[in-house]
Structure 1
Amino acid sequence: MTVDPSGGPAAPDPEPALERWRLVLGPAGQPCLGGCPLGADAADRDAALGWLYDRDTDLSHRDIRASGAGRRGSDRRDGDERDGDRRGGSGPSVMTTVDWLDDITRLFPKETIERLQRDAVERYDVQDVVTDPAVLERIAPNPTLLRAVLRTKYLMKPDVLLLARRLVDAVVRELVDRLAAEVRRSFSGARSRRSSRFKLARDFDVGRTVRANLAHYQPQERKLYVQTPYFVSRDQRRLRPWQVILLVDQSGSMAGSVIHSAVTAACLWGLPGVRVHLVTFDTEVVDLTAQVQDPVELLMRVQLGGGTDIARAARYGAGLIDNPRRTIVALITDFYEGGDADELVRTVRRVVEQGSRVLGLAALDEDANPAYDRDLAQRLADVGARVGAMTPGELAAFVAEQVGR
């Protein structure tokens, strides 16, 4: 029940489903509440959603978020209204980005907070989310903000850059921890059928243990008591040295690929049988192999944007190859070539013909959601490159498979 501050009869609380639709539609959806006002929490959510989505002039952009956050708009930014909508009054002060972050942290679940922050940065270009020290001190690190930092770090003053670096460090540490487990599994060797005296949970032989202990099954309790567990051994990989050369497009649209390539290179670095090179490119080529052990420092050196000369990067990568039959070249790009496409195809053909594995990866992020020039990708596939999309874990597994042969 909503209390009427004038002392009159209290208005009934709206149904949750109707209140949710009101949040989705904005003030235009007020009639769906049948005259009931929004509850206190819903009103706060509405204000937080309005701060962001009311700046949207295109009604077709409206969609339903995880929180019910899809809105109409009037293209307002940070309280700045168009001339036809300006008015005086004694209303509350304009919400700042810091206020907004505090509010959404209080009002929404984590998944919705990340979605709102992503829309603020990527859809509405609210740059103070990553350039204002007061905001950076409050914001929770996540991959969206990491991409935004990489795009805007050149705008940052030294004190802001220091705070941004902490955000980069937190996100990268989480990504490395997540991928490192996949890499370790990929390089841990294949399970064999031989028994092992080493009792490791990952090598627990469920089938043999159940069969060997069936005599200890208690029907009344519906439990199987295990007296003798069995474990299997793993075949030791016979590792011969391999080169892994990552050529990463650092044009603006490839920020996610740059991040995950840096993390992948850091996880592969130092593994037995693997020598990693990491090279970024736009119209220039930059060899960042010396920074691979420190992915944070590496990412802070990346300069996103500019044109794309894939052929030049491919030529550089070909020049790094020591033993062609023990080399994997991963070309991570959207295949929109700004240089000589014919030269790129010729270079890839030469590398393949000399025995190297060439991967043309259209995406290298956790979603593996590629957008790329399919015509050029097909031309590279026609000369022997494997073209597709791999997550970092899938790339690590591919490398492990090749190294273990």
Structure 2
Amino acid sequence: MPSPEFDDTRPDEALRRWRLILGRYAAQPLSHAQFDAGDWKLDQALEYLYGREYDGRGLARPAGGGAGSLDPSQLRAIDWLNRSRELFPQDVFERMQTQAIDRYQLTDLLKDPAVLRSMDPTPGLAKALLGMRGRLSVGMRDAVREVIQKTVDEITRRLKNDFVNALVGRRNRQRRSLLKNAQNFDARATIAANLKHYSAERRQLVIERPLFNARVKRNLPWDVVLCVDQSGSMMDSVIYSAVIAGIMSSLPAVRVKLVVFDTSVVDLTHLAHDPVEVLLTVQLGGGTDIGRAVHYCESLIANPQRTVFTLISDFEEGAAPGPLLSAVARMAEARVKLLGLAALDEGANPVYDRQMAQRLANKGMHVAALTPTHFAQWLAEVME
């Protein structure tokens, strides 16, 4: 359960925390002297959502409630959503919002398009919606698309500069730029050029003219093949893979091929420029035949020495491993740049088959769990 704001200066703070954690099953409900109006609101919001954990275990609600008890039925889903947004820090609220749908199946939030549109678009919410979209009504589909679009736009906003800076150009210290980008700022040259403006009285250096490095545009004849496992456990990586494919599709001289797979292989290269459409197309779940997908991607490679092949998977091969290992070995021998990503999201917390990952590494694949920013940096390095 996420923690609301706490005040360690309060003498009863430990008791208050335990009361909020235990909810309706606390042995001694707190009195009005110990619980203020804000605490009652926190208690009600937490009970509305996390009381469902008790319900799911078949535990009966205490009779009569108690002095501060507010039965969840007194709140509607939209009321809970709006109240929680005000009560909790943003990161805590986003986590609760996702758990409401993904863990506790709070389907009332998914019956009204206006309610869904009012929710904060986050990767967690997008993941939950994509996992449930087959159960949504026709009237909710447009609202789901809008939420997915907002989520994609926000991730793209955060990541695009990393890929543009890494793949389109490197800093040129011999040529100055009028583009005032913090990543291009040349601190040493700026200090040297502005030393004459040093104020001894104020002991400050006045920067009259900051200097920025220009960037040398690259012409990179590279193909980037993204082979993405669309099993349910890889959903976070699927979302970021779709966004990254969209970003790279907009870059000059980088040709993107996007393939998703479970036991079947689906080539989504024609949609790579549109991450939202990619995410609404993927079919989550099912078995995993990595070898079949890698063999298909191998057939797409026309210029091995100018190709980066990236397998994004938990490496849980459901088929015989021979075809997978053979395909990787052939691509390595042809000098394709090979990377296996056990995770591709901003947490980079992988759960994967380490034995298979090691066997792939033995065949020439570099295996890692990377954030998107580190992935951009790695691509830049191999494309030098």
Quickly name the TM-score band, shorter chain normalised: 0.7 to 0.9
Match of 1:50? 47
- The aligned residue for residue 232 of structure 2 is 252
Counterpart secondary structure, 1:362: strand
Residue of structure 2 equivalent to 1:156? 136
**Separation in 2 of the partners of 1:133 and 1:127?**
12
Q: Does 1:165 align with 2:162?
A: no
Q: Which amino acid aligns with 2:235?
A: A
Distance 1:136 1:198, change over 3 A: closer
Q: Is the CA contact (8 Å cut-off) linking 1:264 and 1:396 kept in structure 2?
A: no
Partner of 1:187, secondary structure, is helix
Once the two structures are superposed, what CA deviation does each residue of 1:152-181 show, in whole Å capped at 9, x if it has no partner? 111112111111111111111111111111
Shift of 1:204: 3.5
Question: Which structure: larger Rg?
Answer: 1
- Please give the TM-score of this superposition, normalised by the length of structure 2: 0.87
The CA distance in 2 between the partners of 1:138 and 1:231, in whole Å, is: 41
Q: 1:107/1:205 Cα in 2 relative to 1: closer, same or farther (>3 Å)?
A: closer
Partner amino acid for 1:102?
A: N
Distance apart, 1:127 and its partner CA: 4.1
**Which consecutive residues of structure 1, in runs of 5 or more, have no partner in the other structure?**
1-12, 57-72
Relative distance call for 1:281 and 1:227 in structure 2 (3 A) is closer
| 2:279 alignment partner AA | L
Alpha-carbon shift at residue 19 of structure 1 (Å):
3.1
How does the TM-score come out when normalised to structure 1? Answer: 0.83
| Residue 205 of structure 1, aligned match among 186, 206, 231 | 186
Instruction: Tell me if the contact between 1:130 and 1:145 (Cα under 8 Å) persists in the aligned partners.
Output: no
Distance 2:273 2:139 in 1: 25
Q: What letter matches 1:280 in structure 2?
A: V
Tell me the CA shift for residue 396 of structure 1: 2.3
1:235 to partner: Cα distance: 3.6
Q: Deviations over 1:106-125 (max 9, x none)?
A: 32221221121122233334
Q: Match of 2:203?
A: 222
Is the CA contact 1:130–1:164 (under 8 Å) kept in the aligned structure 2? no
Partner residue in 2 for 1:60? none
Q: Which residue of 2 aligns with 1:23?
A: 20
- Identity among equivalent positions (%) equals 43
Q: What's the CA shift for 1:243? A: 0.8
Offset of 1:104 from its aligned partner?
0.9
Change beyond 3 A, Cα 1:14–1:97: farther
* Secondary structure, counterpart of 1:293 in structure 2: coil
May I ask how many residue pairs the two structures share in their alignment?
Answer: 369
Instruction: Tell me the equivalent position of 1:183.
Output: 163
Q: How big is the shift at 1:263?
A: 0.2
Instruction: Classify the secondary structure of the residue corresponding to 1:389.
Output: strand
Instruction: Describe the shift of the 1:381–1:211 C-alpha distance in structure 2 as closer, same or farther (beyond 3 A).
Output: same
Question: What is the aligned partner in structure 2 of residue 138 from structure 1?
Answer: 118
SS of residue matched to 2:343: coil
Alignment of 1:239-318 (within 5 A): 239-318=219-298
Q: SS state of the match for residue 41, structure 1? A: helix
Distance 1:300 1:201 in 2: 35
Structure 2: distance between partners of 1:148 and 1:155: 12
Give the Å deviation of 1:99.
2.6
